[in-house]
Chains A and B, each alone.
Chain A
């Protein structure tokens, strides 16, 4: 069975700083996807970034980038130039390929951006 672990329950940084959220996972699969989702107080789960396991290049979306270490089963999210609107819960999720979007979720990290 796959598991996803987020070891940081809560983090806070000053606006404009860079912050890295950790995620590790356990799987015996070789073909899978990893995701970071953001859940602001509005509760809507928003996809931030997606990584396909067979791609060695780390995914990047504007200020968001990942450090994907497949051998170490690590998938951290880096947020550069953090903004107040980045305050939210961040969830790491794993999906086995061809599993009909069945996501395995971590417990989340609460990120607070301070002005």
Chain B
């Protein structure tokens, strides 16, 4: 069974440019998470979806970040415009339902120059 798939693995962009990350969760998992992980730190939750509904986006910087999960399966996370401080690894995770183990993808390493 395929795990959580994220693309791209790496992305380098200039500041002020837009960027998007894509996540395909494990089949049947209705809970999806986006995390940001800065170098030398643990992950920080950005947004959590239950099916297509964003149920917790309190940590998402809404002035420049947006996310969607239109059909309750794949999800995209977008940053527009990107800033130097957005350089980080963006991790996606999914779980079958709330309070069950979350499985993580390999993340996208974003470098903003």
Contact = CB atoms under 8 A, between A and B. Distances in A.
Interface residues on B, range: 20 to 34
Interface stretch (A13-21, A42-50, A69-77): A42-50
A101 B100 contact: yes
Interface residues of A, number: 22
B104 A100 contact: no
Q: A interface, by DSSP: helix, strand, loop or mixed? A: loop
Contacts of A61: none
B107 A105 contact: no
B14 interface: no
Given A43-B89, A45-B91, A102 B45 contact: yes
Given A100-B48, A100-B55, A108 B99 contact: no
A101 B102 contact: yes
Interface in B42-90: 42-45, 48, 55-56, 89
Name the residue in A43, A50, A97, A98 with the highest tally of chain B Cβ atoms < 10 Å from its Cβ: A43
Contact of A44 (B99, B102, B105, B109): B105
A108 B95 contact: no
A43 B107 contact: yes
Contacts of B33: 101
A102 B107 CA distance: 18
A93 interface: yes
Interface of A: 4, 9, 42-47, 50, 91, 93, 97-103, 105-108
The 6 closest A-B pairs by CB, nearest first: A105-B42, A45-B104, A43-B107, A100-B98, A44-B106, A43-B106
